[in-house]
Amino acid sequence: MAKGMREIKRSIKSKQNTKQITKAMEMVAASRLRRAQEAAVAARPYTDKMKEVVSSIASASGGSKHPMLQSRPVKKTAYLVITSDRGLAGGYNANILRKVMQTIKEKHNSKDEYAVFVIGRKGRDFFARRDIPIVDEVTGLADSPKFSDIKDIAAKAVQGFEAGTYDEIHLAYNEFKNAVTQIPTLKQLLPLGEMKAGGDKADYEYEPSAEEVLNVLLPKYAETLVFSAVLEGKASEFGARMTAMGNATKNATKMIADLTLVYNRARQAAITQEIAEIVGGANAQQ
Protein backbone atom coordinates (compact mmCIF):
# COMPACT_ATOMS: atom_id res chain seq x y z
CA MET A 1 0.00 0.00 0.00
CA ALA A 2 2.85 2.41 0.92
CA LYS A 3 4.44 1.79 -2.47
CA GLY A 4 1.15 2.53 -4.23
CA MET A 5 0.72 5.76 -2.26
CA ARG A 6 4.24 6.88 -3.20
CA GLU A 7 3.47 6.31 -6.89
CA ILE A 8 0.22 8.27 -6.62
CA LYS A 9 2.00 11.13 -4.86
CA ARG A 10 4.73 11.12 -7.53
CA SER A 11 2.05 11.23 -10.24
CA ILE A 12 0.32 14.18 -8.53
CA LYS A 13 3.62 16.06 -8.40
CA SER A 14 4.23 15.36 -12.10
CA LYS A 15 0.76 16.66 -13.04
CA GLN A 16 1.31 19.78 -10.93
CA ASN A 17 4.56 20.52 -12.78
CA THR A 18 2.83 20.00 -16.12
CA LYS A 19 0.02 22.31 -15.04
CA GLN A 20 2.51 25.06 -14.21
CA ILE A 21 4.06 24.75 -17.67
CA THR A 22 0.76 24.75 -19.58
CA LYS A 23 -0.54 27.68 -17.53
CA ALA A 24 2.60 29.69 -18.30
CA MET A 25 2.33 28.84 -22.01
CA GLU A 26 -1.32 29.88 -22.00
CA MET A 27 -0.45 33.27 -20.52
CA VAL A 28 2.42 33.82 -22.96
CA ALA A 29 0.21 32.91 -25.93
CA ALA A 30 -2.51 35.28 -24.65
CA SER A 31 -0.08 38.22 -24.47
CA ARG A 32 1.30 37.48 -27.95
CA LEU A 33 -2.20 36.98 -29.34
CA ARG A 34 -3.13 40.57 -28.55
CA ARG A 35 -0.17 41.96 -30.51
CA ALA A 36 -0.66 39.53 -33.39
CA GLN A 37 -4.37 40.35 -33.60
CA GLU A 38 -3.63 44.08 -33.66
CA ALA A 39 -1.10 43.55 -36.48
CA ALA A 40 -3.55 41.48 -38.53
CA VAL A 41 -6.33 44.05 -38.11
CA ALA A 42 -3.99 46.94 -38.88
CA ALA A 43 -2.91 45.33 -42.18
CA ARG A 44 -6.46 45.00 -43.53
CA PRO A 45 -7.02 48.69 -44.41
CA TYR A 46 -3.76 48.78 -46.38
CA THR A 47 -4.71 45.66 -48.34
CA ASP A 48 -8.22 47.00 -48.98
CA LYS A 49 -6.89 50.37 -50.16
CA MET A 50 -4.37 48.76 -52.51
CA LYS A 51 -7.15 46.62 -53.96
CA GLU A 52 -9.26 49.74 -54.44
CA VAL A 53 -6.45 51.53 -56.27
CA VAL A 54 -5.59 48.56 -58.48
CA SER A 55 -9.27 47.92 -59.27
CA SER A 56 -9.82 51.56 -60.21
CA ILE A 57 -6.83 51.69 -62.55
CA ALA A 58 -7.64 48.30 -64.08
CA SER A 59 -11.27 49.25 -64.71
CA ALA A 60 -10.42 52.67 -66.14
CA SER A 61 -7.72 51.44 -68.49
CA GLY A 62 -8.97 48.08 -69.61
CA GLY A 63 -6.30 46.53 -67.40
CA SER A 64 -8.33 43.38 -67.04
CA LYS A 65 -6.26 42.11 -69.97
CA HIS A 66 -3.18 42.07 -67.75
CA PRO A 67 -1.70 38.51 -67.54
CA MET A 68 -2.06 38.45 -63.74
CA LEU A 69 -5.80 39.02 -64.12
CA GLN A 70 -6.38 36.45 -66.84
CA SER A 71 -7.15 32.77 -66.35
CA ARG A 72 -5.39 30.25 -68.57
CA PRO A 73 -5.40 26.47 -68.99
CA VAL A 74 -4.02 24.95 -65.81
CA LYS A 75 -1.06 22.62 -66.29
CA LYS A 76 0.69 23.21 -62.99
CA THR A 77 -0.56 24.62 -59.69
CA ALA A 78 1.46 26.10 -56.83
CA TYR A 79 0.34 26.09 -53.20
CA LEU A 80 1.72 28.58 -50.69
CA VAL A 81 1.05 27.00 -47.30
CA ILE A 82 1.37 28.90 -44.02
CA THR A 83 1.97 26.89 -40.84
CA SER A 84 3.82 27.42 -37.55
CA ASP A 85 7.35 26.54 -36.45
CA ARG A 86 6.22 25.03 -33.15
CA GLY A 87 3.50 22.64 -32.09
CA LEU A 88 1.31 22.52 -28.98
CA ALA A 89 -1.33 24.57 -30.81
CA GLY A 90 -4.20 22.12 -31.00
CA GLY A 91 -5.36 21.44 -34.55
CA TYR A 92 -3.85 24.63 -35.99
CA ASN A 93 -1.36 22.89 -38.30
CA ALA A 94 -3.19 19.60 -38.77
CA ASN A 95 -6.37 21.26 -40.05
CA ILE A 96 -4.75 23.35 -42.78
CA LEU A 97 -2.35 20.58 -43.87
CA ARG A 98 -5.24 18.12 -44.06
CA LYS A 99 -7.16 20.58 -46.26
CA VAL A 100 -4.20 21.07 -48.60
CA MET A 101 -3.57 17.32 -48.92
CA GLN A 102 -7.23 16.65 -49.63
CA THR A 103 -7.20 19.27 -52.39
CA ILE A 104 -4.00 17.87 -53.90
CA LYS A 105 -5.43 14.33 -53.97
CA GLU A 106 -8.66 15.54 -55.58
CA LYS A 107 -7.12 17.80 -58.24
CA HIS A 108 -3.82 16.18 -59.23
CA ASN A 109 -2.77 12.82 -60.59
CA SER A 110 1.01 13.23 -60.34
CA LYS A 111 3.61 15.35 -58.59
CA ASP A 112 4.44 17.05 -61.89
CA GLU A 113 1.11 18.89 -61.70
CA TYR A 114 1.81 20.84 -58.51
CA ALA A 115 4.49 22.41 -56.32
CA VAL A 116 4.52 23.74 -52.78
CA PHE A 117 5.91 26.86 -51.13
CA VAL A 118 5.98 26.54 -47.34
CA ILE A 119 6.13 29.05 -44.51
CA GLY A 120 6.69 27.32 -41.15
CA ARG A 121 8.75 24.35 -39.96
CA LYS A 122 5.73 22.15 -39.29
CA GLY A 123 4.54 22.41 -42.87
CA ARG A 124 8.02 21.89 -44.28
CA ASP A 125 8.56 18.71 -42.25
CA PHE A 126 5.08 17.44 -43.13
CA PHE A 127 5.61 17.74 -46.90
CA ALA A 128 9.23 16.54 -46.73
CA ARG A 129 8.15 13.31 -45.03
CA ARG A 130 5.70 12.69 -47.87
CA ASP A 131 8.27 13.47 -50.57
CA ILE A 132 6.17 16.36 -51.90
CA PRO A 133 8.18 18.83 -54.00
CA ILE A 134 8.98 22.01 -52.03
CA VAL A 135 10.10 24.92 -54.21
CA ASP A 136 11.01 27.30 -51.39
CA GLU A 137 10.58 27.54 -47.63
CA VAL A 138 10.75 30.06 -44.80
CA THR A 139 11.18 29.01 -41.18
CA GLY A 140 11.95 30.78 -37.94
CA LEU A 141 9.53 33.69 -38.38
CA ALA A 142 9.40 36.10 -35.46
CA ASP A 143 6.25 36.40 -33.36
CA SER A 144 5.73 39.78 -35.06
CA PRO A 145 6.79 39.08 -38.66
CA LYS A 146 7.80 41.82 -41.07
CA PHE A 147 7.07 42.02 -44.77
CA SER A 148 10.78 41.60 -45.50
CA ASP A 149 10.68 38.17 -43.80
CA ILE A 150 8.39 36.68 -46.44
CA LYS A 151 9.02 39.01 -49.39
CA ASP A 152 11.42 36.66 -51.17
CA ILE A 153 9.19 33.58 -51.07
CA ALA A 154 6.11 35.63 -52.04
CA ALA A 155 7.98 37.29 -54.90
CA LYS A 156 9.31 33.93 -56.10
CA ALA A 157 5.80 32.49 -56.23
CA VAL A 158 4.43 35.53 -58.08
CA GLN A 159 7.34 35.54 -60.53
CA GLY A 160 6.73 31.85 -61.19
CA PHE A 161 3.18 32.70 -62.24
CA GLU A 162 4.32 35.61 -64.41
CA ALA A 163 6.91 33.39 -66.10
CA GLY A 164 4.32 30.72 -66.81
CA THR A 165 5.88 28.11 -64.53
CA TYR A 166 2.59 27.95 -62.61
CA ASP A 167 -0.81 28.59 -64.11
CA GLU A 168 -2.47 29.28 -60.77
CA ILE A 169 -1.38 29.82 -57.18
CA HIS A 170 -3.43 28.98 -54.10
CA LEU A 171 -2.86 30.43 -50.64
CA ALA A 172 -3.48 28.14 -47.64
CA TYR A 173 -3.68 29.60 -44.14
CA ASN A 174 -5.82 29.79 -41.00
CA GLU A 175 -8.15 32.78 -41.05
CA PHE A 176 -8.42 34.38 -37.62
CA LYS A 177 -11.91 34.92 -36.24
CA ASN A 178 -11.29 34.89 -32.50
CA ALA A 179 -9.18 33.12 -29.91
CA VAL A 180 -11.35 30.00 -30.15
CA THR A 181 -12.16 29.95 -33.87
CA GLN A 182 -9.61 29.72 -36.68
CA ILE A 183 -10.89 28.75 -40.12
CA PRO A 184 -8.63 26.69 -42.44
CA THR A 185 -8.77 28.64 -45.69
CA LEU A 186 -7.61 27.75 -49.19
CA LYS A 187 -8.15 30.53 -51.70
CA GLN A 188 -6.84 31.43 -55.13
CA LEU A 189 -4.07 34.01 -55.05
CA LEU A 190 -3.32 34.14 -58.78
CA PRO A 191 -4.74 34.85 -61.23
CA LEU A 192 -6.45 37.67 -59.39
CA GLY A 193 -9.42 37.60 -61.72
CA GLU A 194 -11.26 40.56 -63.18
CA MET A 195 -11.07 43.48 -60.78
CA LYS A 196 -13.94 45.96 -60.83
CA ALA A 197 -13.94 49.28 -59.06
CA GLY A 198 -16.75 49.40 -56.54
CA GLY A 199 -18.68 52.32 -55.11
CA ASP A 200 -17.43 55.83 -55.86
CA LYS A 201 -14.50 55.41 -58.20
CA ALA A 202 -11.62 57.70 -57.26
CA ASP A 203 -9.94 59.72 -59.97
CA TYR A 204 -6.28 58.69 -59.73
CA GLU A 205 -3.53 60.41 -61.64
CA TYR A 206 -0.58 58.25 -62.62
CA GLU A 207 2.36 58.18 -64.97
CA PRO A 208 3.87 57.05 -67.23
CA SER A 209 0.87 54.83 -68.12
CA ALA A 210 -1.81 52.69 -66.52
CA GLU A 211 -0.26 49.52 -67.92
CA GLU A 212 3.15 50.23 -66.42
CA VAL A 213 1.61 51.18 -63.08
CA LEU A 214 -0.30 47.89 -63.04
CA ASN A 215 2.88 45.99 -63.92
CA VAL A 216 4.33 47.25 -60.64
CA LEU A 217 1.24 47.31 -58.45
CA LEU A 218 -0.25 43.90 -59.25
CA PRO A 219 2.79 41.85 -58.08
CA LYS A 220 3.01 44.07 -54.97
CA TYR A 221 -0.67 43.54 -54.29
CA ALA A 222 -0.29 39.75 -54.56
CA GLU A 223 2.70 39.86 -52.18
CA THR A 224 0.66 42.01 -49.78
CA LEU A 225 -2.09 39.36 -49.76
CA VAL A 226 0.51 36.78 -48.75
CA PHE A 227 1.80 38.97 -45.91
CA SER A 228 -1.73 39.64 -44.73
CA ALA A 229 -2.33 35.86 -44.63
CA VAL A 230 0.88 35.41 -42.61
CA LEU A 231 -0.37 37.93 -40.04
CA GLU A 232 -3.74 36.17 -39.90
CA GLY A 233 -1.89 32.89 -39.45
CA LYS A 234 0.18 34.23 -36.55
CA ALA A 235 -2.91 35.49 -34.75
CA SER A 236 -4.60 32.13 -35.36
CA GLU A 237 -1.54 30.26 -34.08
CA PHE A 238 -1.48 32.13 -30.77
CA GLY A 239 -5.24 31.83 -30.40
CA ALA A 240 -5.08 28.08 -31.00
CA ARG A 241 -2.13 27.68 -28.63
CA MET A 242 -3.83 29.70 -25.90
CA THR A 243 -6.96 27.58 -26.20
CA ALA A 244 -5.01 24.30 -26.31
CA MET A 245 -2.91 25.20 -23.27
CA GLY A 246 -6.02 26.40 -21.42
CA ASN A 247 -7.69 23.04 -22.04
CA ALA A 248 -4.52 21.23 -20.98
CA THR A 249 -4.42 23.22 -17.75
CA LYS A 250 -8.06 22.34 -17.01
CA ASN A 251 -7.40 18.67 -17.71
CA ALA A 252 -4.34 18.70 -15.45
CA THR A 253 -6.39 20.31 -12.67
CA LYS A 254 -9.05 17.59 -12.99
CA MET A 255 -6.46 14.81 -12.99
CA ILE A 256 -4.79 16.26 -9.88
CA ALA A 257 -8.15 16.38 -8.10
CA ASP A 258 -8.93 12.77 -9.07
CA LEU A 259 -5.50 11.54 -8.01
CA THR A 260 -5.70 13.47 -4.74
CA LEU A 261 -9.01 11.77 -4.00
CA VAL A 262 -7.49 8.36 -4.73
CA TYR A 263 -4.47 9.21 -2.56
CA ASN A 264 -6.66 10.31 0.37
CA ARG A 265 -8.74 7.14 0.14
CA ALA A 266 -5.60 4.99 0.05
CA ARG A 267 -4.15 6.91 3.00
CA GLN A 268 -7.38 6.51 4.96
CA ALA A 269 -7.44 2.79 4.21
CA ALA A 270 -3.81 2.46 5.36
CA ILE A 271 -4.55 4.30 8.62
CA THR A 272 -7.64 2.16 9.23
CA GLN A 273 -5.60 -0.97 8.63
CA GLU A 274 -2.88 0.16 11.04
CA ILE A 275 -5.48 0.92 13.76
CA ALA A 276 -7.06 -2.49 13.23
CA GLU A 277 -3.67 -4.17 13.54
CA ILE A 278 -2.89 -2.26 16.77
CA VAL A 279 -6.28 -3.13 18.27
CA GLY A 280 -5.88 -6.74 17.18
CA GLY A 281 -2.43 -6.91 18.75
CA ALA A 282 -3.67 -5.38 22.02
CA ASN A 283 -6.56 -7.87 22.22
CA ALA A 284 -4.20 -10.77 21.61
CA GLN A 285 -2.09 -9.82 24.64
CA GLN A 286 -5.09 -9.84 27.03
With cut-offs at 50, 70 and 90, classify the pLDDT of residue 139: very high
Q: Is residue 42 part of a domain?
A: yes
User: Residue 202 contacts by C-beta under 8 Å, 6 or more apart in sequence?
Assistant: 52, 53, 56
Is the predicted pLDDT of residue 210 greater than 90, yes or no? no
The span from the CA of 212 to the CA of 284, in Å, is: 107
Give pLDDT, residue 24.
Answer: 94
- Tell me the mean pLDDT in the region 42-65: 77
Q: Is residue 155 part of a domain?
A: yes
Burial category of 262 from C-beta neighbours within 10 Å (exposed 0-12, middle 13-18, buried 19 and up): middle
Q: Is residue 102 part of a domain?
A: yes
Q: Is residue 285 part of a domain?
A: no
- H-helix or E-strand containing 168? strand 168-176
Q: Is residue 251 part of a domain?
A: no
For the sheet containing 182-190, what is the strand order?
134-138, 114-119, 77-82, 168-176, 182-190
User: Residue 159 contacts by C-beta under 8 Å, 6 or more apart in sequence?
Assistant: 219
Residue 93 domain boundaries: 25-243
pTM of the predicted protein model: 0.85
Mean pLDDT (the chain, rounded): 87
Q: Is residue 3 part of a domain?
A: no
Is the predicted pLDDT of residue 226 greater than 80, yes or no? yes
SS3 286: coil
Q: Is residue 209 part of a domain?
A: yes
Q: What CATH number does the domain containing 228 carry?
A: 3.40.1380.10
SS3 86: coil
Q: Looking at the 3D structure of the chain, how many domains does it have?
A: 1
pLDDT digits over 72-84, tens only?
Answer: 899 999 999 999 9
Q: Is residue 270 part of a domain?
A: no
